[in-house]
Structure 1
Amino acid sequence: MSDSAPPPGEQSRSRKRVKNYGTGRAALLDAAVRVVAKGGLRGLTYRAVAQEAGVTHGLVVHHFGSRDALIEEAVSHAIHTSLGSSSLDVGTGDPADFSASLVDMVESDPELQAFQYELLLEARRRPELLPGLRSLYEEYFEATRRELDRMLPGTVDRGTYRLVFAALEGLVLHQLVFGEREVTEEALTRLRELLADLARR
C-alpha cells in the first residue's frame, strides 16, 4: 500500500520534515543506518527509513522487498563505506600510514559506526544475523591482514591481525562513546610505533 499525499493544509509541514538525502538505493541504506544508530534494530521499519530519507514507504519496499534484505544490504553498505573511509588498507606498507583516517572517520560519521555496534549486539539475541555479519567482518580482518603483510616480515598469523583489528575496533567504540579524539590519536601513534618496531625486526 502506498502512502497518500497529505491534505493541502499539511503540505507545508510535510515539506519541512523532508530531508535532502536523495532517493537512490545508497541514500535509503544511509537512512537505514541512521535509523538503527538512533533507535536500535527494533526501530528499523520501512516507514522509519522512509521518514528518515524523506521518501514514500512504497519506495523503500520497492527497493528491498523484505526487512531482512534491507538489514543485510545495510550491513554490507556500512562495512564497505567504513572500509573505504578508514585507510585500513591503503597499501603503502608504511606503519606511519596505518589507519591514518580512523579518528576522522569516527567524527565524520558516528552513526555509521554506531550502526555496526548495534548489529553486533543484536546478533547475540538473533543468531540468524551472525552468518552475514561474520562474512562481512571477514572483509575487515582481511584488509587488516593485507596491510600488516605489507609492513611486517614473514606471514602474519591470524592472532596478530585479529589483535590489531580488535585494538582498532575498541578505539573506535571508545571514541564513539566518550569522544576523546586525542586519546584515540595517542593510542594509534603507539600502535604504529609497535608495528614499526615489529617491521624492523
Structure 2
Amino acid sequence: MRGLTYRAVAAEAGVTHGSVRYHFGDRDTLIEEALTFCVERGIEGVELTLDESGFDDFAAGIVAMVAAAPEAQAFQYELALESRRRPELRPVMERVNDSYRVAVHQALVRNGLDDPALAELVFIAIDGLVFHQTAFGNTGRTERAVKVLRKLLTAYAAT
C-alpha cells in the first residue's frame, strides 16, 4: 500500500508518471479507482453473477480468480486494514464491501433465498476463503470449502 506511487503505477501501465498524475489527480482518487477496478473483477471472477439456477456452480471462479491475481486481493485487504489507521478510507471500504454483499444477495435471491442475514454469512464466508487463499495459497482448501458451502446452500434452499 505504501509503495503505491504514481511512478509505480505508470511503470506497471507502461505510461509516464505525469499521465497517471493527470488522469487521477491525487493519490486518493488513484487508490479508489484501483479498488473499484479490483472489485469489479472480483465479483466477475468469483462468478456470483451467473444466471443459472441452483448452487452447483456457485462461486465457481473463486480459486482461479485468487490464483490469477493474488496481488489484487492482497491490495483490497491491505486497504481494509489501512482504513483503520486512515478513517477517510473507511467509506470507500464500506462501499466495496457493500458491492460484494449486494452481489452475494442477488445470487441467493436468484435461487429463491431472499434472506439478508444468510447473504451476510455467505459474504463473510467467501471473504474468508479469498483471504486465506490469498494469504496461504492453499487452493485445495478453498475448493473443498466452496463445495461444502454449495451443499449448505442447497440444503438451506430445500427447507
Global fold match (TM > 0.5): yes
- 1:162 maps onto 2:90 in alignment: no
2:112 matched to 1:152?
A: yes
Looking at structure 2, the residues matched to 48 and 136 of structure 1 have their Cα atoms a distance apart, in angstroms, of 23
1:181–1:138: structure 2 CA closer, same or farther, 3 Å change rule? Answer: same
Q: 2:109 aligned with 1:139, yes or no?
A: no
Using the TM superposition, give the Cα deviation of residue 75 of structure 1 relative to its aligned residue in structure 2, in angstroms.
Answer: 1.0
Which of 152, 155, 158 is the equivalent residue of 1:194? 152
Matching residue's letter, 1:176? T
Q: What TM-score, normalized to structure 1?
A: 0.75
How far did 1:51 drift?
Answer: 2.5
Shift of 1:53: 2.7
Shift of 1:136: 2.5
Question: Cα offset for 1:185?
Answer: 0.7
Give CA-to-partner distance per residue, 1:153-197, whole Å, 9 cap, x none: 5x312x211110111111111111212211111111011001000
The CA distance in 2 between the partners of 1:81 and 1:193, in whole Å, is: 26
Q: Quote how far apart the aligned CAs of 1:55 are.
A: 2.2
Alignment correspondent of 1:183: 141
2:20 to 52, 57, 60: 60
- 5+ residue gaps, structure 2, are none
Q: Runs of 4+ in structure 1 displaced over 2 angstroms?
A: 51-55
* Alpha carbons 1:76, 1:136 under 8 Å: kept: yes
Unaligned runs of 5+ in 1: 1-40
3-state secondary structure, aligned to 1:133 = helix
1:51 aligns with 2:11: yes
Identity of aligned residues (%): 47
Equivalents in 1 of 2:131, 2:27: separation in Å?
A: 27
The one-letter amino acid of 1:197's match is A
> Is the counterpart of residue 76 in structure 1 residue 76 in structure 2?
no
Residue by residue over 1:24-73, the C-alpha shift from the partner in whole angstroms, topping out at 9 and shown as x without a partner, is xxxxxxxxxxxxxxxxx222111222233332111111211111111111
Count of equivalent residues: 159
Relative contact order, CA 8 A, sep 6+: which one is greater?
2
Q: Specify the structure having the higher radius of gyration (Cα).
A: 1
Native 8 Å contact 1:93 1:148 kept in 2: no
